[in-house]
Amino acid sequence: MHSSFTRLQNVFGFFTTVAFVLGAFIAATDLGSARTPSGVIKTDNIQVVKGRPHYYSSKKEEYAIIRFSLEADLSSLFTWNTKQLFVYVTADWTSPGGTNNSAVIWDSIITNPSADHLQNLGPVAMKKLKKSAEGKSIAPERGLLKLKNQKPKYQITHPSGKIAETADVTLKLHYNVQPWVGVLTWNMDKPLGVWNAMRGGVSDLFTLPALKSKDGKGKDTKDKSSTKSKKSKKP
């Protein structure tokens, strides 16, 4: 401590140590707050249509459009260290060869109010979002989801281009907790400490329907929603 420079150095060193330890403590508090996620997911209307992966593609693939209903309680996942919750629904099935397939059909970013300002939203939507939790920094109620006959965000296919009449498909609800600092967590198969495994969250097995016979529809799918889907086929 013999010069301003070493003083500055020491102060900075001490500051980083304190910040690091504080961060570790905050991250550790996650382990102490109970998690009791649960959900019920059901399929509604399912269609398989023909479409092209993108406008200029000459190839036609089959796309499954799975509508679903979801009722979930993920409110326990919101704590002071939760930055956002990423909720997503996957369709899972096994191909004849015994290989597993999994594809996201719907997802949603749910921010804690402390992270609202980071969302990529228009000014109106942002205002509304901020208003919805005015004065609060934690908003567990945002973890209560109720979707009826929800249209999927992503139409899914398989690299082979064939997906119609696939049997034993399930929908599964997943979440990913993004902390402000610390370890990222996903839904677990087994409970860990005060964190419970997801109750429910899996649909009954279902079979994708046959291709819609008259495919005047196929053309429409090319620019549907965000599906910049695959042109598939690897050599």
Query: Strands 61-73, 38-51: parallel, antiparallel or unpaired by DSSP?
Result: antiparallel
Binding window for another protein (CB under 8 A); candidates: 67-75, 106-114, 196-204, 206-214 = 106-114
Nearest C-alpha neighbor of 76 from the set 150, 200, 171, 175 = 175
Question: If residue 88 lies in a helix (H) or strand (E), which one and from where to where?
Answer: strand 82-94
Task: Kindly report the backbone phi and psi dihedral angles of residue 67, in degrees, each rounded to the nearest multiple of 5, phi listed first.
Answer: -85, 145
Choosing from 32, 123, 131, 186, the residue that interacts with another protein (CB under 8 A) is: 186
Is 170 a binding residue for another protein by CB under 8 A? The answer is: no
Cα dihedral: 197, 199, 204, 205 (round 10): 0
- Contact string 9-28 vs another protein (x = CB under 8 A): --------------x---x-
CB of 194 to another protein, least distance (A): 20
Return the residue of 55, 56, 96, 99 that touches another protein, per CB under 8 A.
Answer: 99
Interface residue with another protein among 33, 150, 170, 232 (CB under 8 A) is 232
* Contact in structure between 170 and 101 (CB atoms under 8 Å): no
Q: How many CA atoms lie within 13 A of 77 on its CB side?
A: 31
Count of residues that bind another protein according to CB under 8 A:
47
Classified as helix, coil or strand, 202 is: strand
Is 140 strand, coil or helix? helix
Specify the residue, 80 or 86, whose C-beta has the smaller distance to another protein.
86
- Regarding 69 and contact with another protein (CB under 8 A), the answer is no
Is residue 213 within the footprint of another protein (CB under 8 A)?
no
**C-beta closer to another protein: residue 95 or 137:** 95
User: By CB under 8 A, is residue 191 in contact with another protein?
Assistant: no
Give me 182's structure tokens. Answer: 């610390």
Query: What is the smallest separation between the CB atom of 227 and another protein, expressed in angstroms?
Result: 9
DSSP string across 22-71: HHHHHHHHGGGS-B--EEEEEEEEEEEEEE-SSTT----EEEEEEEEEEE
**Residues 8, 28, 31, 118: which binds another protein (CB under 8 A)?**
118
Residue 226 lies near another protein (rule: CB under 8 A):
yes
Q: Give yes or no for residue 83 binding another protein (CB under 8 A).
A: yes
The structure tokens 């269609």 sit at: 47
Query: Closest approach of Cβ 53 to another protein, in Å?
Result: 8
Closest CA to 185 of 26, 12, 35: 35
Binding residues for another protein (CB under 8 A):
1-3, 6, 23, 27, 83-84, 86, 88, 90, 95, 99-104, 107, 109, 111, 115, 118-120, 154, 156, 158-159, 174, 176, 178-184, 186, 226, 228-234
